[in-house]
Structure 1
Amino acid sequence: MFNHIAIFPKEHWPRGYGVNGYVRLAGRKMSKSRGNVWYIREALREWPADVIRLTVANAGDGLDDPNVDLDFAAVAEARLQDWVRFATKKHSTRRNTHGIDGWFLSVLNRTVQATRNAMEDMNYKIALRHGYFDLQSAWSWYVRRSENRPQVECLRRFIEVQTKVLAPFTPHMAEEIWHRNGGAGFVVAAAYPDAKVEEINPRAEAAEGLLQSTLADIREILKVTGIAPKRMALYTAPSWKVSVHEVARALATQGALAMNVLMEKALAQPGMRDRAKEVAAYAKQVADELKHARVEHLDRFDSVDEFAMFRENAHFLAKELGVKVDVFRADDPRRWDPSTKADRAVPGRPAIYVE
């Protein structure tokens, strides 16, 4: 640092530095006396340089001693080879846009934000988690929801962003992909991805999160019960529970969520006094749930029309589960509900019936 300050102008001074204590190999302190020293020149005989760089970056951040995981290196080599093949081959795509495209672009931009922040803080393992593992997971879900036909612009942007994010860690692989895809110059000289904030869509993310969690709940029910389903139904929350939840969220956003204030405001809603006991029981449940919720998460609850979302995606659920899925409002008097499951529906968690 002394040399930098003495020689370079201020804009080129270091903005930070990293110090590590012991380096661990497979969880054990690395030392010559233990005979478990991992020399880079020896590692290069077993793995490509990019794999080693990725493994070292994934070793750890902060004050914890970094842990070099050789099992990670073995998996990383295969995953990087798969990524090169994926990023440079031709894909079956579509030009028209679907709702799921907005979800993916929102996640892509939110991921870019998180990755850039982690890189600037020199938290490289966190950057890899957001910019590589989480992004790959989001793409897998997106392709599944797109029935293996991603939108052409979403595919292009995914490959470009992923390649640029990986470039500091795996420069040789990134340059190969960049060159084969017609990128200008070198990828390491290209601008790091910037998030397009206007494409971040909390509503789309909330809706997709609800769909994912509901699908996971259904799979868990089938696993635990061992039922081979013949028919399935989802029931979204009745309007009175939605109203109570809205009042509770508004109070939680303003500060403390007092039960007496919640009841007063909830019972002031039309028709609520006719079911005062039900309102009181549900209001207590909601107050307990929202007591520790983060303010920025509260707005996401009211952004999703759950009934419309599940109706729109009933075909996807049926395809995933191999059985017809019907969607009803819990307060629809014409609903099919042989086991009165609809009473259990609450905002953000539909009731589920499996026949």
Structure 2
Amino acid sequence: MIEALSDSTIYMAFYIIAPIAMKMKPEELTEELFDYVFLGKKAKNKLPASAEEMRKLFTYWYPLDSRHSATDLVHNHLTFFIFNHVAIFEKKYWPRQLVTNGFVLMDGKKMSKSMGNIIPIRAAVAQWGADTIRFVTVSGADLSQDTDFNRPAVEGVIARMKFMKATMEKYAVGKDEGERDLADRWILSRMHKRALAADEMYSKFQLRELALELFYNTFNDVQWYLKRAKEPKLREFFEIWVPLIAPFMPHYAEELWEELGKKHYVKESKFVSIAPLPTGDKKKVDETLEAGEDYIVQVKEDISSILKLIKKEKPAKIELFIASGWKRKLREIAARERKFDTTMKLAMADPEMKKHAKDIARVLQSYMKNAGALDKTQSEKFELEALESGRKILEEEFGCPVSVSKEEGAAAPKAAFALPGKPSILVS
């Protein structure tokens, strides 16, 4: 009699040699043969001719690199899996890694025949494609949690895949020619930063976070870039992005790789499935440039919120006011002291800042509400240059003139509410 969890926990070792064993006679499958194949023990009797090939296959493929199973099997099957490997095999053949994952739900509900919410894999692949199913399932939650196969999300993924493919075909098939402008450098900075982080995230199976960064956030970046770039240049971008997304979407990535001219029959190139994972170039990461674009995006979102709040679809004019220098100085003191009373006392002792005594308490209170962000103060020059750089896109977005000016000397009372990193916005 064989205990139920003994042979089933080492069957992956048998699968390696199964194609050969299935062709052998039953009387040839002796204990002596398996001792040689799995343990390397010398046989007293003559072994079948295929024994050497079986041993070679086992030592080539073992140990297994990663064993994936459900969390509910930790207390039985996976525990026996470890016990039996340790009991039977040499240490060098012990499993290198165990990964547990949750269940797959269907539109937020457990899949069940009685509920009629089970979709056969063949039907799902025919309807949405293997890569789409793979991506939605893996990206829906962290590995240890249940993930939801949400059909509206599937359609969203397909739409984004089509957009990225069309963008690549339009802007990346040829060479990136000409000088790179601010937008070109920004999109490459974002991509290289993600590549630098991806290797460690893949090794730690941080798949949900990777999916968010490599697919959804990258999609948003490309949309923004196409609005900003005068002459889009995306060849280098896609040569990095396609291999990074390949573990999630292997068939899709292979198709894009071929269109980039990177297939194996082209000189010095390979299938994306065997191409090395891009590591990223630190020299091409520009934090200041990225901060400037993030700032413009935030201002755009703030304007949209205001328009929604006042229920105004077509503004006549938008005015942006940059915070005064004394507010930045106050913020620097607050970042250093981290206490309201101490900061207030030091500010009032400053002759220049004391001129704004009636406003200091109000401004300081707003700083203290988000004390964690006090260290992230950009200069007045940074804000002015960023907004001037993004003024055109803001005008196109909202269909009206946009002006950028300093708080000092502004006639509009609204200007007084400008804060460092948060310009005051006046819509008319």
User: What interval of TM-score do these two structures reach, taking the shorter chain for normalisation?
Assistant: 0.7 to 0.9
Residue 420 (structure 2) aligned to one of 300, 325, 347: 347
Q: Call closer, same or farther: CA 1:175–1:264 in 2, change over 3 Å.
A: same
1:316 aligns with 2:393: yes
Q: Call closer, same or farther: CA 1:76–1:313 in 2, change over 3 Å.
A: closer
Gaps of 5+ in 2: 1-8, 14-61, 64-84, 263-268
Aligned equivalents of 1:309 and 1:41: distance in 2? 51
Cross-structure match for 1:243: 329
The one-character-per-residue Cα deviations of 1:125-168 (angstroms, maximum 9, x if unpaired) are 32211111111111111111114x22x3xx11221222112211
Query: Aligned-residue CA RMSD in angstroms?
Result: 2.9
Residue 202 (structure 1) aligned to one of 269, 287, 290: 287
Cross-structure match for 1:232: 318
The one-character-per-residue Cα deviations of 1:83-128 (angstroms, maximum 9, x if unpaired) are 3333234569762222233332232233334443432222323221
Aligned equivalents of 1:278 and 1:33: distance in 2? 66
Q: Which amino acid aligns with 2:296?
A: L
Residue 19 (structure 1) aligned to one of 101, 107, 110: 101
Q: Call closer, same or farther: CA 1:196–1:16 in 2, change over 3 Å.
A: farther
Q: State how 1:203-218 maps to structure 2 within 5 Å.
A: 203-218=288-303
Aligned equivalents of 1:144 and 1:134: distance in 2? 16
Report the more deviating stretch, 189-198 or 97-106.
Answer: 97-106
1:19 Cα offset (Å): 3.3
3-state SS in 1 of match to 2:321: strand
Q: Call closer, same or farther: CA 1:41–1:74 in 2, change over 3 Å.
A: same
Residue 210 (structure 2) aligned to one of 124, 127, 131: 127
Aligned equivalents of 1:116 and 1:103: distance in 2? 21
Aligned equivalents of 1:75 and 1:311: distance in 2? 34
Cross-structure match for 1:49: 130
The structure whose Rg is larger is 2
User: Are the aligned partners of 2:143 and 2:207 in contact in 1 as well (CA < 8 Å)?
Assistant: no
Aligned equivalents of 2:377 and 2:203: distance in 1? 29
3-state SS in 2 of match to 1:305: helix
Aligned equivalents of 2:157 and 2:289: distance in 1? 31
1:307 Cα offset (Å): 2.2
Gaps of 5+ in 1: 252-256
Aligned equivalents of 1:82 and 1:265: distance in 2? 54
User: Are the aligned partners of 1:203 and 1:304 in contact in 2 as well (CA < 8 Å)?
Assistant: no
Q: State how 1:26-175 maps to structure 2 within 5 Å.
A: 26-90=107-171, 95-147=178-230, 149-150=231-232, 152=233, 155-175=234-254
Q: Which amino acid aligns with 1:18?
A: T
Q: State how 1:292-307 maps to structure 2 within 5 Å.
A: 293=372, 298-299=375-376, 301-302=378-379, 305-307=382-384
Aligned equivalents of 1:314 and 1:19: distance in 2? 47
Q: Call closer, same or farther: CA 1:71–1:229 in 2, change over 3 Å.
A: closer
1:286 Cα offset (Å): 1.6
Report the more deviating stretch, 321-330 or 308-317.
Answer: 308-317
User: Are the aligned partners of 2:321 and 2:406 in contact in 1 as well (CA < 8 Å)?
Assistant: yes
Aligned equivalents of 1:300 and 1:16: distance in 2? 44
Q: Which amino acid aligns with 2:245?
A: L
User: Are the aligned partners of 1:206 and 1:304 in contact in 2 as well (CA < 8 Å)?
Assistant: no
Count of residues paired in the alignment? 337
Aligned equivalents of 2:171 and 2:179: distance in 1? 18
Aligned equivalents of 2:349 and 2:189: distance in 1? 38
Aligned equivalents of 2:380 and 2:196: distance in 1? 22
Aligned equivalents of 2:91 and 2:123: distance in 1? 39
User: Are the aligned partners of 1:111 and 1:135 in contact in 2 as well (CA < 8 Å)?
Assistant: no
Q: State how 1:254-333 maps to structure 2 within 5 Å.
A: 257-290=338-371, 293=372, 298-299=375-376, 301-302=378-379, 305-331=382-408, 333=409
The one-character-per-residue Cα deviations of 1:273-331 (angstroms, maximum 9, x if unpaired) are 233332233223322321xx16xx82454596212322333333223222222221111
1:226 Cα offset (Å): 4.1
User: Are the aligned partners of 1:203 and 1:300 in contact in 2 as well (CA < 8 Å)?
Assistant: no
User: Are the aligned partners of 2:323 and 2:380 in contact in 1 as well (CA < 8 Å)?
Assistant: no
Q: Call closer, same or farther: CA 1:259–1:52 in 2, change over 3 Å.
A: closer
Aligned equivalents of 2:91 and 2:370: distance in 1? 54
Could you tell me the TM-score, scaled by structure 2's length? 0.70
Could you tell me the TM-score, scaled by structure 1's length? 0.83
Q: Call closer, same or farther: CA 1:126–1:8 in 2, change over 3 Å.
A: farther
3-state SS in 2 of match to 1:106: helix
* Higher RCO (CA-CA < 8 Å; seq separation 6+): 1
User: Are the aligned partners of 2:324 and 2:407 in contact in 1 as well (CA < 8 Å)?
Assistant: yes
Q: Call closer, same or farther: CA 1:11–1:215 in 2, change over 3 Å.
A: farther
Q: Call closer, same or farther: CA 1:54–1:98 in 2, change over 3 Å.
A: same
Q: Which amino acid aligns with 2:195?
A: V
Q: Call closer, same or farther: CA 1:258–1:206 in 2, change over 3 Å.
A: same
Aligned equivalents of 1:344 and 1:103: distance in 2? 30
